[in-house]
Structures are given as structure tokens and as C-alpha cells.
Amino acid sequence: MSDSTPTLPIMPVSRRKRLVGFYDLSIEELAAKLQEIGAPAFRAKQMYNWGYEHFVESYAEMKNLPAALQDQLEEHLPFRTMTMVDSKVTDDGDTYKLLYETFDGQVVETVLMLYPDRATVCVSCQVGCAVGCAFCATGLGGLTRSLSAGEIVQQTVDAARQAKRLGRNLTNLVMMGMGEPLQNYAETMKFINIIHDPRGLNFGARRITVSTSGIVPRIDALAEEPLQLNLAVSLHAPNNDLRGQLVPVNGRWPVEELLAACDRYIAKTGRRISFEYALMNGINNSDETAHELGTLLRGRLCHVNVIPFNPVEVLDFERPTVEMIDRFAAIVQSHGVPTTVRYSRGVEIDAACGQLRARYEASRGKSGVQPTI
């Protein structure tokens, strides 16, 4: 993307040393890499087929590659750059949590959710997050580093493989794990382009949702992208007083600027925006706030997802009762704004909002994000 306003407080892609692996490369880049190590470029297509259609887990499984090339690749381009260190499943078997350690010892989590009609993966795009929303476990320890495109691709492919083992196809992807995708814009777009490539995973753009806390210039950049992505905007409050306390980037891009960017996005793409609203008792769930939200959003091509707050033990917020949640949603809906209540999946295995990572890090005695138990 071009960023004409360098003074904006947007985190650059981490400049730490990176480990480039198979999943970081577009098919053209892979072809170039093969030529660089003296192998024919046509192998790239074969390798993409093994990696993204057969979901192999090593070069050794790419049966039609010469053994010498497999060895060379192992040396020059690691196949997987993250190790899966744990996986958990809920008792009813419909939510899986994958936990990774990166090459530099960071912990990353991914959640696969199975529904009757679809299978959705929730990927992380950063370790921690610089935005620091008041109610979010991920933001507690700040940003450690952004993930590379390949690290996000690996999460997706592992989820697709897991779904396939269960006799299912991975159908949807949401960037609602750890991190702020629009503060890791270049790698996020690279990741999306790799999984979208019809010669590889062929993941439809319309099945991908990018969720943001409201990084306005990057919402405008996203509107210019040729892909038909879904955009979710984490609104959480209908006015600046309240939103400023919950979502710190509101100080830089207040509600009116955020909604203006959303309107530009809708006008440019013709696509409906989802507004996410984490509902916290006594904070943003009064009848008055519900009316204010309904009035604010009325007439827009949008949908509101009310997400009942997932308790984070070191934080003082509370989840409202079911009656309160339904009442809030009904009031917003009464303004003609389509509204759905979405309960987070996998709370029992800490699959919601950075919790398992915190627990895993506590168990191996690493400082960083505070444990939530």
C-alpha cells in the first residue's frame, strides 16, 4: 500500500529478523527461489499442489521431487517455521484450538470452529497487540511482534488439514485472533493473496473477514484492494466518550471519522460492514446506549454483532445476563439495524481472546502477557 502520511501512529511491520519459509512465498516467488538454488521453476506448481491441496507437512512427502532437491529445500527454505506445541478440543468436539511456538519462541494461537454448515478458522496476525483495548487479553502486554504472511498461512493450512481429517472443508476465515491486522497491513495482504491464489488453497475472498479496531487510513487502503473481502469494525461504543475509554485508537480516529471511512468503504466496494460490539455490563449496555447505537448506524449497509464479553480474570469487566444481552440487541434492531448476538466459541478450552496463550506462557514460566487464571 502507499502511505502518504508517515506521521500516523501506525506500527511498522516488525524489523526483527525473520525466517522465510515455504508458506511465505507466492508461487512466482517460489519459482524464483527454485531457480536460485538451481532447480527448475516448474517445480513451484507441483509444490503448491502438495502444500495447498494435499496439505503435506514436509518436503519429504512431496513424492515427485528429487531427494536432492528435498534436502536443498530443507536447508534453504524451511517448510514450517512454527511448531505446534498443543492442541485442544471442546467436549462436544466442535472447537479446536491450535497453539504454536514460532522460531523465535513466541506463542501463537489459532481456533477452528465447526458449525453444521461451515468450518471457520480464526487466525492471529500478531503476538500481542499495540492497540491495547481495555477489555482484551491480547492487548495487555503490548505488541511483541507482527507475524509474517507465512506464519498466518501456516495457521490456515493446519486448520484446513484438521478440518479435512474430520471430513470437513474449511470454508471461512476470520482475522479475529491475536493482533490488529491493519497494523500489520503488508503481511496481512500478502497472506490473503497467498491463500486466495487459485493455484494453491483457492480460498474465496468473500469468505475472508478482516477485523479492525478502526485504523482509518488502512480501511481506505483496504477499500482499494481488488479482492472482495469482508470488513468487521470493532465499534464497542456509539460515542467518543465511551469508545475513547475502551479502544485507545479512538483518540486518533474518533467515531465520526471511523464511520466516514466505513461509508467510503461501503460506497467503494458495495459491501456490507459488520460492526462488532463487545457487551460489558454497566459499561456499554444501557438502553440509552443501545438507542444511541441504533440511531448512529441506521440506514447504513451494515450488521451489528453483539459479542457478550468473555471474562478476562485480570480485568474488571462483567458479562451481562442473557436477558440484558437480548434486550440490548432488540433495541438496536428496533432501529432497523440487523443485529445478531454471537457467543464466543471454546471458552472452556480458553479458545477465546488470547486466553490459552496466556495460560501456556504462565505454565512455561515466561513473562509477558499476564496469565488469566
Catalytic residues: 109, 353
Q: How far apart are CA 199 and CA 211, in angstroms?
A: 26
Q: Site for ligand SAH (CB under 6 A): which residue of 107, 136, 170, 293? A: 136
Q: How far apart are CA 175 and CA 181, in angstroms?
A: 7
Using CB under 6 A as the binding rule, the residues of this chain from 229 to 268 that contact ligand SF4 are 234
Q: Which stretch binds ligand SF4 (CB under 6 A): 102-110, 132-140, 292-300, 333-341?
A: 132-140
Task: Answer for the pair 344, 90: CB distance below 8 angstroms, yes or no.
Answer: no
Helix (DSSP H) and strand (DSSP E) numbers for the chain = 11, 12
Site string for ligand SAH, 208-247 (x = CB under 6 A): ---xxx--------------------x-------------
Q: Which residues pair with 100 in a beta bridge?
A: 84, 108
**How many CA atoms lie within 13 Å of 247's alpha carbon, on the beta-carbon side?**
26
To ligand SAH, the closest distance from the beta carbon of 233 in angstroms equals 7
Residue at shortest CB range from ligand SF4: 139
Q: Is the dihedral of CA 84, 196, 94, 359 positive or negative?
A: positive
Between residues 204 and 254, which has the closer beta carbon with respect to ligand SF4? 254
Which helix or strand (DSSP H or E) is residue 245 part of? helix 240-246
Tell me: does residue 96 bind ligand SAH (CB under 6 A). Answer: no
To ligand SF4, the closest distance from the beta carbon of 234 in angstroms equals 6
Tell me, by CB under 6 A, how many residues bind ligand SAH: 16
The set of cell numbers assigned to 277 is: 460490539
How is 302-337 classified by DSSP, letter by letter?
EEEEEEEPPP-TTS---PPPHHHHHHHHHHHHHTT-
Tell me: does residue 355 bind ligand SAH (CB under 6 A). Answer: no
Q: Site for ligand SAH (CB under 6 A): which residue of 50, 59, 96, 135? A: 135
Q: Site for ligand SF4 (CB under 6 A): which residue of 21, 51, 78, 139? A: 139
To ligand SF4, the closest distance from the beta carbon of 65 in angstroms equals 39
Q: From 64, 72, 52, 299, select the one nearest 170 (Cα to Cα).
A: 52
Which helix or strand (DSSP H or E) is residue 49 part of? helix 43-52
Tell me: does residue 180 bind ligand SF4 (CB under 6 A). Answer: yes
Instruction: Classify strands 172-175 and 273-279 as parallel, antiparallel or unpaired.
Output: unpaired
Tell me: does residue 349 bind ligand SAH (CB under 6 A). Answer: no
Residue 154's binding partner, choosing from ligand SF4, ligand SAH, none, with beta-carbon cut-off 5 to 8 A by kind? none
**What is the contact surface with ligand SAH in residues (CB under 6 A)?**
133, 135-136, 176, 180, 211-213, 234, 276, 278, 307, 309-310, 312, 353
**What is the contact surface with ligand SF4 in residues (CB under 6 A)?**
129, 131-133, 136, 138-139, 179-180, 213, 234
